[in-house]
Amino acid sequence: MAIDTNEAFLLILVLLLLFRECFTVVDDTLSMGESLSALTVDRLSSQNDKFELGYFKRGTSSKIYLGIWYKGIEDKRIVWVANRENHLSDQYTARLEFSNDGNLVLLQASSKIPFWSTNLTHLPSNSIEAALLDDGNFVLRDRSNLSILWESFNHPTDTWLPGVKVGTNQLISWKNSEDPSPGVFSFGLDPNGVVQFILEWNNSHVYWSSEVFNNSYLFCKININLENETYINCPNLILSISSIGQIMGIGLQLGNESWTQPRSLSNVYALCGAFGIYNNNSSNPCDCPKGFEPFSDTETRLNDWSGGCLRKHPLQCENRIGQKDWFLKISNAILPVNSKAYSQLSARRSCKKWEVWVIVALPILVIVLILCLSVGFSSKGKLKCKGDVASSYDLLLFDFSTELHAINDKTNTKDNATKSGKKDVELPQFSYESVSAATNNFSNANKLGEGGFGPVYKGKSLNGQEIAVKILSKSSTQGLDEFMNETTLIAKLQHGNLVRLLGSCMEGDKKILIYEYMPNKSLDFYLFDPTKKTMLDWETRIHIINGIAQGLLYLHQYSRLRIIHRDMKPSNILLDGEMNPKISDFGMARIVGDNEAQANTNKVVGTYGYMSPEYVMEGLYSIKSDVFSFGVLLLEIVSGEKNTGFYNRESLNLLSHAWELWKDEQSLELMDSMIGRPSCESTIVRLINIGLLCVEESPSDRPTMFDVVSMMSNEHAHLPIPNQPAFTTCRNLMHSNPKINCAENCSINSVTISVMEAR
């Protein structure tokens, strides 16, 4: 019986499929000239048979992917996918092989354009091989010396295996349970420099964050490599992000103990999509309200509800069939971020005919016009018809780079500028609803910290601009006076070393300030932490000291108003992305006249350890009060220690310790030992000298900030010899005479100190 060519081909194909195990590549390496074929189910197996690399499909889908999975597990727990963004469709011609330049490429049929490639340059193509290691890492290496040129650990998909160095790369979820293409959820390190894990939706909305690391978190350790890059190593933890936005971890040291965040799917952002409702049902947690249906039955079955729900029928104003629209009441439902619950009246009004608008609006316009004319004539032109209530802006839609200028250009006319002499800056008022939406309803995941004023949250507008939202807490020791003081005062200040106030919100009892966001938090976050302080090298510390001095000089001498800050301390020094210092928190600040040497207050406020003696004891403050605080701050930056952190040591405080070292000509011993010796030790000694000059007991002996900046900028100028600092003698008196009461002898009046320790 004759067999034609097609029948022969089919016969060979059937035989290949029947005996495909005989042709399967099960080695752990792939060399030049070899290839992995989807037709013969070729695969690489790690040396101890823990992992396999090969081709796979999920469910009923015809899409083909190259991936790595645990060997021996029935459902093939996929831990890495090569071509997740570009699937194969023809299993008979798919192959993984080496190109002429030594790269691994994934091809199909006669196509010369790879579906995936290692995409390296300058490879030693004659000695290249690929290998699947026992830790699940697929590597491209030089066979002659086994040096790794490329590795899958540096290109993760949805899983981090033990040993992966977690740096800037993220885990991206699968689109659904059968489709490994990139989904909308991601997991990784916070890109803003905070050492913590975050879960993010669509790379724009953080909906969960871990606690901030010290040395470790779970089974992960902080490491800093030779290039001074921070990364996380999790040698005993498998981390994987699911297609429904949860991060799951398995600790290898504790008997496969599992860990999941967020614990409830209700905290996964936009899980159920538009008009979808989360119902806490483990098998199908998303549902549609009455009158709606799922966007796609297939997606729902595959645990992908991002498509949300669609209306079954159009609204009345769309179909014109005469039926009335109505609202369905849903109890125990939490509205989504930035939701607007329009009333039934406003919804129906949008569907009314234009004739109704004319009938209703025309009489109202006539009445308003008559009233305006009446008021205008009765006041002889002194009053004009305009709205007295300022409109609130939507924080989500606001563009700070352009709209702030537009607002101020609009309000500062030439006539106004002439009358006032200088332009006043007008701050935009934002609605509470939009501020809440920008911070994800003030979620804990967005909380940056909390001080004497109240909590501070990170927010983001729709165009990606990041902000810091500072709320006046009802339990705050600061009140409306401090809030109004900061709002009116800092708005008029413009300097590179002062934090920028962008706007405010006042609705009912809610009082909120909007600032530019400082990604590196405050100075105390690094300075007093044994691990984080190493990020502040000597060059950075000197840069920070100079920046603070420039900011204070502007406040004291060059700003429109002569301002005394009165609360200078590390927690009020914020750091931007380039570690530039910015002075913040002007709630305690006061304005003094150009010729006013000092002022007096009956309420002494500030932070213990930074207040000058004349302010503590007599309630007197001046620009020299800020100079004293700056001196304390300078010595803290140099030493890496708090002024008040000497309770169990021989010295009373940092000032006393610095003075003793200065007298013994051992000033360099004050330097932070965690950083090492700087190349410019003379500069550090000079800064310590300046710091001691700033903390002298008598205000008249202290330099001005103009003098301080001059002494810093001119390294060859002669420096005065400092006198003994304030607050350095009380403990010595107690040692010589235990009957002396320090509290009684260190204060000469009865002024109450209201200490406000922020953050």
Instruction: Give catalytic status of residue 585 as yes or no.
Output: no
Q: Return residue ranges of the chain for CATH 3.30.200.20.
A: 389-517
| 313-320: average pLDDT | 61
Burial class of residue 598, CB neighbours in 10 A (0-12, 13-18, 19+): middle
| Residue-level pLDDT at 24 | 43
262 close to 268: Cβ distance less than 8 angstroms? yes
Distance CA 522, CA 524 (A): 6
Distance of CA 215 to the CA centre of its chain: 20
Q: Return residue ranges of the chain for CATH 1.10.510.10.
A: 523-755
How does residue 20 score in pLDDT terms, banded at 50, 70 and 90? very low
pLDDT digits (tens, 9 = 90+) for 177-224: 889 999 999 998 888 877 888 999 988 889 998 887 766 776 777 776
What's the fold here for domain 523-755?
Transferase(Phosphotransferase); domain 1 (1.10.510)
How does residue 559 score in pLDDT terms, banded at 50, 70 and 90? confident
Highest mean pLDDT among 497-501, 583-587, 599-603 belongs to: 497-501
Percent of the chain with pLDDT over 70: 72
pLDDT digits (tens, 9 = 90+) for 216-254: 776 777 776 655 566 788 888 888 999 999 999 887 654
Q: CATH 2.60.40.1250: does it fit domain 389-517? A: no
| Residue-level pLDDT at 420 | 38
Closest C-alpha to 461, from 514, 509, 507, 425: 514
pLDDT higher than threshold 70 for residue 438: yes
| Residue-level pLDDT at 270 | 87
Instruction: Name every residue whose Cβ is closer than 8 Å to that of residue 410 and which is 6 or more positions away in sequence.
Output: none
User: What is residue 408's three-state secondary structure?
Assistant: helix
How does residue 739 score in pLDDT terms, banded at 50, 70 and 90? very low
| Residue-level pLDDT at 536 | 92
595-603: list long-range contacts, CB under 8 Å, 24+ apart: 596/562, 597/622, 598/622, 598/624, 598/699, 599/564, 602/751, 603/752, 603/754
| Residue-level pLDDT at 405 | 60
What's the CATH code, domain 24-155? 2.90.10.10
Bridge partners, 260 (sequence order): 248
Q: Which of 567, 585, 626, 672 is catalytic?
A: 567
How does residue 335 score in pLDDT terms, banded at 50, 70 and 90? low
| 567-584: average pLDDT | 92
| 717-737: average pLDDT | 70
- In the DSSP assignment, the letter for residue 694 is H
Question: Residues of 458-485 as b/e, b for ≥16 C-beta within 10 angstroms?
Answer: bbbbeeebebbbbbbeeebebeeebbeb
| 101-112: average pLDDT | 87
Q: Residue type for 636, please?
A: E
Question: Between 436 and 350, whose confidence is greater?
Answer: 436
Q: Return residue ranges of the chain for CATH 2.90.10.10.
A: 24-155
pLDDT digits (tens, 9 = 90+) for 656-710: 999 999 999 999 999 998 888 877 888 999 999 999 999 999 999 999 999 999 9
How does residue 749 score in pLDDT terms, banded at 50, 70 and 90? very low
User: What is residue 314's three-state secondary structure?
Assistant: coil
Neighbours of 229 (CB within 10 A): 11
Question: Between 407 and 670, whose confidence is greater?
Answer: 670
Instruction: Name every residue whose Cβ is closer than 8 Å to that of residue 568 and which is 6 or more positions away in sequence.
Output: 548, 552, 583, 610, 626, 629, 630, 633
Burial class of residue 176, CB neighbours in 10 A (0-12, 13-18, 19+): buried
433 close to 397: Cβ distance less than 8 angstroms? no
Handedness of CA 357, 360, 363, 365 (dihedral sign): negative
Range scoring the smallest mean pLDDT among 46-60, 311-325, 376-390, 603-617? 376-390
662 close to 724: Cβ distance less than 8 angstroms? no
